[in-house]
Structure 1
Amino acid sequence: MRNLKRALVVLFVLVLVMLVLFFVLENQQAVALVMFGWSAPSMPVAVPVVAALLLGLAIGPLLGAYGVWRGKRRLRSAP
């Protein structure tokens, strides 16, 4: 059973990597982003999209952990 789970995880990761690679290869047109008066250099559209994905993957679990920590703190301080 453990080997089946590992195989499914490996398969899922490989499919995810292939999808990201396909997305990056299909979105090579250059764009220039302007945000709050700051202008970024021209880069392929996939770069800011993948950067936003990675940022969200990093921030999401941190916010979830903060919510769990806050909930546990409330339970401990309740009378």
Structure 2
Amino acid sequence: MSYVKRIVYFVIALLIVFATVIFVLENKQSVSLVFLGWSSPELPLAVSLILVLLSGMAIGPLLAFIFAQKKKRHPGIS
């Protein structure tokens, strides 16, 4: 069973890699993002979107951890 599970995980990981490569190849036009007056250098659209996705994946759990800690200290706060 473990062998089959490894193969399934490998196939899923391979599909994610292929989807990412296709996404990057399809979105090569350069864009410059502006946020709160700060302007980024021109990067391919795919790179910008992947950076935003990774930032959200890092900030989301961090905020959840902070709010969980705050709730532990003050159990009456909803």
Scaled by the length of structure 1, what TM-score is found?
0.74
Equivalent residues, number:
75
**Helix, strand or coil at the partner of 2:6:** helix
Report the CA distance shift for 1:13/1:60 in structure 2 as closer, same or farther (over 3 A).
Answer: farther
Identity in percent? 44
Structure 2: which 5+ residue stretches go unaligned? none
In structure 2, the partner of 1:24 is 24
**Map of 2:58 onto structure 1:** 58
**DSSP-derived class of the 1:53 partner:** helix
- Map Cα deviations across residues 2-45 of structure 1 (whole Å, 9 max, x no partner): 01111111100000000001000110001110110011111100
Partner letter of residue 53 of structure 1? L
Structure 1: where are the runs of 5+ without partners?
Answer: none
The residue aligned with 2:12 is 12
CA RMSD of aligned residues (A): 2.7
